[in-house]
Amino acid sequence: MGNAGVCGKTADVAQLQDELTGALIGLARATDNAPDVNDGTWRLMIEGLFTTVTNVSFNEKTLRELIDRVHAEKARLVPDCSDCAAPCGRAADYDMTNLWNAQEDIRSLKSLILFGVRGMAAYAHHALVLGYTDDAVNDFFAKALFAVGEDWGMEELLPIVMEVGEKNLKCMALLDQANTESYGTPAPVTVPLTVEKGPFIVISGHDLHDLKLLLEQTEGRGINIYTHGEMLPAHGYPELKKYAHLKGNFGTAWQNQQKEFAELPAPVLFTTNCLMPPKASYADRVFTTEVVSYPEMTHIGADKDFTPVIEKALELGGYAEDRMLTGINGGNTVMTGFARGTVLGVADKVIEAVKAGAIRHFFLVAGCDGARPGRNYYTEFVKQTPADTVVLTLACGKYRFNDLDLGTIGGLPRLMDIGQCNDAYSAIQIAVALADAFGCGVNDLPLSMVLSWYEQKAVCILLTLLYLGIKNIRLGPTLPAFVSPNVLQYLVENFGIAPITTPEADLKQLLQ
């Protein structure tokens, strides 16, 4: 085994993920003009891309099986590659070393495309399990993968980069529709961080469908369910909230799990990315499902029979007494559910407050969290926002500050959690509606975006914001390492992207 990377993956796993990506590019080539591309083809392409997202699969066996499935599907589409009708004249796997060894600007643009569609595939997968698909989104996965495998220059790749943003907006809209039509429109809710005595299960990740199935299977069993990480916004959905045993939220940010799960008298179910290599102290309590996989961990298959998780919860028994837990800043509750339905439902009050001077500025402080130093910037930034400003947040970066009580403005909390990372769609709709109400463009609103950066799903959201022409985004704690100086200069010149500095300096500048 080679050395492990930041996310905990070995060099062997990373190599297999490259092989899987190269096979997916071969499959994308094979779909061009193939007569019998079907729903199974797209499902496999989406699953394959999602599997390569950070902190999803650490399992060499399942990666090899997925590579074999991709090859089998390609062989079905083009049984004899020499007779292939694809314009490229080939459907071979792509050698990813060609990408990593490419000229730095080409490597940078192709990385933006690849990482962007990996994140987009996560959203497409969540929608897919609820029965929602979009032909334009599916077609673009093949188009983007095809582009990564071609020997193209910056002029040909730049439009594809922007199209990732366009199609990801469509994909987030699809998932938004899937979630709200399946589970209702989110409403604000206060979520306790206290864990009640007795058996319980912690469920992490993003997949609301898995949570719904777990709630159904545990109803009446005397087992409480607690969300973790990006599953927190589930509490805002009426069709999930109605289950009395969906009790609260356990733990803080995903990168603290190795410490917070160490003495946990309960199982943890991982439904999507967020898994870190489990410590020996709790490895027997980790369960995975869908594309998440880790060697020797119990995996819940397509039948979604959570009996092993339920039996483990009953065996461990939970805490003997209620446990009063807190967030990073000492708060014992958090709020969520402020999606566009809620915010736009009181848009007249918000607009009135802005016109009256009660609300001076909006901040969207959002994005992915991580363990590296410098991320306390976001906590300090939110703490220092003036009392006449509103902080909107989403994704897992909010755990840095979501237990803070910032008070209220016009009957609304100053700190409003819109939801998961894909709920950037809701944030965009709020911004567009406010711009329409004030008769201006989004860039003319008293709105600043201060985003934290970590993994692929941050790429597709950033590209969506750029596609919409949103400028002057602050990005940190460091700028993405795979963006070359020339590509970064392009983003600075055309979109005003800037790195964060200090909370004090950035607030002063953004409030000018």
Which residues line the annotated binding site?
Answer: 206, 230, 274, 368, 396, 421, 455, 457
Task: Give the DSSP H/E element, type plus range, for residue 276.
Answer: none
* Residue 268: other Cβ atoms inside 10 A: 25
**CB–CB of 106/160 below 8 Å?**
no
Residue 57, SS3 per DSSP: strand
Extract the annotated binding site for hybrid [4Fe-2O-2S] cluster.
206, 230, 274, 368, 396, 421, 455, 457
For residue 323, list its beta bridge partners.
195
Alpha helices in 415-469 (DSSP H): 424-438, 456-467
Rounded Cα distance, 21 and 142, in Å: 12
Helix, strand and coil in the chain, % to nearest 5 = 50, 15, 35
**CB–CB of 306/300 below 8 Å?**
yes
**CB–CB of 427/364 below 8 Å?**
yes
Q: Is 388 exposed, middle or buried (0-12, 13-18, 19+ CB in 10 A)?
A: middle
- Which of 473, 474, 365, 343 lies closest to 409 in space, CA to CA? 343
Strand order of the β-sheet with 361-367 is: 415-419, 389-394, 361-367, 447-452, 474-476, 498-499
**CB–CB of 287/268 below 8 Å?**
yes
> Which H, E and C letters describe 185-225, residue by residue?
CCCCEEEECCECCECEEEEECCCHHHHHHHHHHHCCCCCEE
**Token pair recorded at residue 271:** 């439904």
